[in-house]
Every structure is written in structure tokens, then in C-alpha cells.
A and B are shown apart, each in its own frame.
Chain A
Amino acid sequence: MPILVLIVQSFNAGKSRAKWEGFSFRWYGALFQSVSIMDALKVTLSVALLATVISTILGTLAAIGIYSMKKRPQSVMMTMTNLPNTMPDIVTGISLMLLFIFTRINRGYLTMLMAHITFDTPYVILSVMPKLKQMNKHTYEAALDLGATPTYALLHVLIPECRQGIVTGALLAFTLSLDDFTVSYFTTSPLVQNLSTLIYSAARRGIEPTLNALSALMFVTLLVLLLIVNHRTEERN
């Protein structure tokens, strides 16, 4: 319901939210001309993409590593993986901010990326691990017995077995990174903003209609994307 209002508002010609002054695309035009919003969009997308790729690689490797550890280190590693999930966002953000302040690293694009990788990776591990555990242990050994080198067995047996988990983890990481506000807020400088922090600083000044247009667009894009995904899975079945 509030979202519907937002979408309707985005077509409102007037600047005030209270009055309806006719249908227009004015705010959509303004949206694409606004440098700060387009910059923020670029930052958001590139951070999400980079963080997803890096954390997926890091997480998949780690999951395989943790899986083949002995019991004791394995449980230590899993506790460490679960730790960021149980910590509230604000503490994650603040602790990273303290780290960057302490080491005198200027906060900006790179620090935000690092922060995103930090909170994405555990989710990748947590979605790859169950797949590894479900896998039949003997498949890998059989591959070795049949003359596969460990590298070959890894690439052609282990990775395909948990591909589903990897994809889920990557998608999860991407969404989390797109949607994150709290951690980004504490780990970036006011000069480099992603959409969330931009919306936050704009909201404190009062909402601009361009933000309505932006949210309407984001909403429709996601809707279309998901419909396409749904359609494809149905066709496959």
C-alpha cells in the first residue's frame, strides 16, 4: 500500500506531495539528469557486483576448506562464520569504522567494498556448506581412484555438486549488498555514497519527488526480473 502511493506520487507533476497536479514524467527526467543519483547508482551496482564476485570465490573456497577440516578447527571456523550474522548491523558497521579509523585508512569506495565482502562471505559459506554435507563423500574418492588428479576432481566433481549452493549464495550476497544501508553508512565517506546512504541524507532534508521516481523504477525492474526468472523456471519444468 505505501509502495503504491509512492509509485503514484512519482507521476505527480507538482513538487508537493499533498497535491495532485496532473500526470507527468517530469521527475523521471530529473532522475536521469541528477548526477548524484546516477553516481550513487553506479557505486551501488559496482560495489554489489564486485562484492558478490569476490565473496563468492572467497566463500566457496572457504566452505571447501572448512568442510575438509578436522572437527575441532571446523567448529571454530563455523562459530566465526556465524558471528557476523548474530551481530547487529550497527555493531558490524561501527567495528569496521573503528578499524579504518585506527589504521588511518580513509573511508571511501574501497572500505565500503571491503565491508560488503565481510558481511557477504559468511552467507555464501552458509549456503554452500549444506550442499557439501549432502554430497556423497565417496564420489570424490571414486574420482581419485579412477585416476583424476585432485585438481581435476575438485573442478569436475566437487564444484558442480555444490553449484546450486554457490548460485544461491551469490544471489543472496548480491541482494544483501544492494539493500545494505547501516554498514555502508559507517564505512563510507560523504563523498562516496551508494543509493541507501544517498536516500538517507535526502530523507533528512525532506523527500524529493525524484526519489519516488527512483523507487518506482527500482520496484518495477525487480518485478520484471523476477517474472522473467519465474517464467524460465516454469519453461524448464
Chain B
Amino acid sequence: MRYDVTLPWWAYTLMGVGGLCFVVLVILSIRRNHGIKRSLFASPYTLWMILFTVLPCILIGYYAFTDTDGNFTFANFRHFWDSNAEMKEIVGEEFASSIPRGTVNVDTLVYSLWMAFLCTAISLVLGYPAALFMADRDMKLGASLVILFVVPMWMNFLLRTIAWMSLLEDNGLINQLLVAVGLPRAQLMYNSPAVLLGMIYNYMPFMVFPIYTSLSKQDISLSEAAADLGCSSFQTLTRVTIPLSLPGVISGITMVFMPSVTTFFIPRVLGGGNTMMFGDLIESKFLTEGNWNGGSALSLLMMLLILISLSILRKADPNGEGSGRI
């Protein structure tokens, strides 16, 4: 196995000095007998986060606003808005007006947002009743449903997605069934519905579990009280149970929406290049084209988008109550 341990010398020096400083600081703070100095325990983590989270983010910003020579420019964003911008610069101003605006990038963004929206909506519609069943204490079904949702999560998500391939392929199981019944073969893979299916299948648990936790944390006497006060079971559901589970719903929406905007594996495998999503675009900008500046601009846009949507959701759930992970 090739463990290519090839860090530059200054990286080791940095690590050594950092470790030494930390040990000295801790010893000092313990000697002085001040409980407050325990805050120093966070210093290695702070250093680590500055190095590996803050600095990389700054780098993305740096690359997004510079060209390949390191000069400040907005060109990367102009290229996002108009993918023909480069061509226009080459042919000069007189011909530029005859070239239409290239909308590939914007279209991809809109398409991914639309797909992610569909995925979130369908997951919510299917997932909420499932969570209700799971949280229902009278139902024997609940526990087995939980297992049904948890078990696939143990599998690597790439393998989960690939497993769908063997079902949906032209010679896959579903098509073989269709042929056996005497129906014509159907083109099931390499289109948007297949990608959507893969996304829902992979991200549905992220919707179900936050809702499930917030439902099962609910005080059962509340819905009993509602029933005692004359609510029908439907009214209890719409007036008591659902409003109380909203934090879970919101956290579920975030946890499904975010990965589905950015996924690039699922459209690659199930969409087979016919469907381009935003994550896909970013990945190919970086690794296929080697265009770090353009890719950084796209990443920056995506981060902005997600921050905006998160802050909207935060407003709806100010205490972050629904952040129940599995």
C-alpha cells in the first residue's frame, strides 16, 4: 500500500511547535490552579479549525475573485451568468451582440433547485405519515418501520445507488419482469425521474428521523387533552400534533434539501450524463476542466444560496429544537 507521507518540512515543524505550545499552556494553567484556564483546552481545536475550515473558505473566496494570474476580477461570475462571455471577448464587441447569452450554468442551477425541491416535497409527503406511524405507540408496526428505514442507512450510499442500477437497467430486473408479462421494455435509467428516485431513496431517512424524534418527544397528554376537549382525531392531528412537530419538519427539510442540491454522484450514476446538476457542474469545473477560479465562484454562489435558505429556516425555528439527528 502506498502511504505517501509527503508533507513538506514546514508542516511537521508547525505541528511540532503547535503541540509543544499546547502542552506548555496546559501545564501552566494546571499549575496556576485556575479553573477558568480550561478554556485553553480548546486551543488545538481552534488552531485546527482555522487551518482547515476558515482558511480554505478564504481560499475559495480568493480564487473566486481572481483570474488565473491572481488579478482581481469579476469575470468568474460573469461567466456563470453568461457561459458565452469568453467567446464574446474573443470575437470583439461588434460581433458580441449577435451571440446569445449562454445559459448553461444558470439553467443547471435552476434545474438542481427544482429537483431538490421536488425531492424535498415528495420526501415530506411520504415521510411524514411514515414518521407518524413510527411514533405511534399503539402500533406494533412502528418498531419494524424504524428498522426498515435504519437498515439501508448502514450501507454505503454509493452501493445503495448502484443497487438501483441493477433494477432499472435496460436488462435490469424491472424490465425483465415487464418482458415476462408481455409488455414492452421501458427506458428507466438515464433520465430525471431515475435521478429523483435515487435522491428520494437516499435522503428520505433524513426527513423521517427528525420528524420522528420530534413526534416521539411530544407529550402524549397533549393530544389526549385535545381529544377530551372534543377534537376529532383529524382535528387533533392538524391542530396539535402537526404544529408541534414543525421544528422536526424544518430540520428534515434542511437535511434533505442541502445534500440534494449538491449531490453529484446520484446524477452521474442514474442520470448518466443526461442530467447535469449543480454539484456535478462544480466537480467537473474543478477536476475535468481544472478551472479552479470558475469552480470557486460556483462554490461561493452555492454557499451563499445555502446560507440564505438556512437563515430563512432559522427564522422559522429559532431555538433549533428540531436538530435531532438520528
Contacts and interface: CB of A to CB of B under 8 A. Distances in A.
A151 B4 CA distance: 39
Contact of A104 (B8, B164, B307): B8
A65 to B, nearest CB: 3
B60 A98 contact: yes
A6 B159 contact: yes
A59 B45 CA distance: 7
A91 B171 contact: no
B292 interface: yes
A73 B40 CA distance: 12
B113 to A, nearest CB: 13
A136 B5 CA distance: 45
Contact of A219 (B35, B154, B164, B165): B154
Interface of B: 1-8, 11, 30, 33, 35-36, 38-46, 48-49, 52-57, 59-60, 63, 151-152, 154-160, 162-167, 169, 171-173, 176, 201, 258-259, 261-262, 264-265, 268-269, 279, 282-283, 286, 292, 295-296, 299, 302-303, 306-307, 310, 325
A3 B149 CA distance: 13
Interface residues of A, number: 85
Interface in A216-231: 218-219, 222-223, 226
A91 B42 contact: no
B166 to A, nearest CB: 5
A35 to B, nearest CB: 9
B306 A62 contact: no
Given A106-B6, A109-B4, A223-B154, A118 B53 contact: yes
A188 to B, nearest CB: 10
Nearest to A141: B35
A117 B48 contact: yes
A146 interface: no
A86 B7 CA distance: 29
A106 B151 CA distance: 37
23 contacts: A2-B160, A3-B155, A5-B173, A42-B1, A59-B45, A62-B42, A80-B53, A86-B307, A90-B279, A90-B302, A94-B60, A105-B8, A108-B5, A117-B52, A118-B48, A118-B52, A140-B35, A150-B33, A154-B38, A172-B325, A199-B156, A207-B165, A211-B159
B34 to A, nearest CB: 8
Contacts of A90: 262, 264, 279, 282-283, 299, 302
Given A61-B41, A95-B299, 6 more contacts: A3-B152, A102-B59, A117-B52, A181-B158, A203-B165, A218-B156
Contacts of B5: 108-110
A53 interface: no
B45 A215 contact: no
Contact of B7 (A42, A105, A211): A105
The prevalent SS among residues of A at the interface is helix
B43 A18 contact: no
Interface string A71-92: 0010001001101101111110
A164 B57 CA distance: 33
Given A61-B45, A99-B56, A102-B59, A203 B269 contact: yes
Given A62-B42, A65-B38, A5 B158 contact: no
Contact of B60 (A95, A192, A207): A95
Contacts of A200: 158, 265
A88 B173 contact: no
B163 A5 contact: yes
B326 to A, nearest CB: 9
Q: Which of A83, A103, A222 has the most CB of B within 10 A?
A: A103
A218 B299 CA distance: 34
A113 to B, nearest CB: 10
A219 B8 CA distance: 40
Nearest to A61: B41
A231 to B, nearest CB: 15
Given A80-B49, A83-B53, A211-B159, A94 B286 contact: yes
Nearest to B45: A62
Given A68-B35, A90-B262, A151-B30, A62 B303 contact: no
Nearest to A62: B45
Contact of B302 (A18, A65, A88, A125): A88
A192 B165 contact: no
A99 B7 CA distance: 13
A135 B303 CA distance: 36
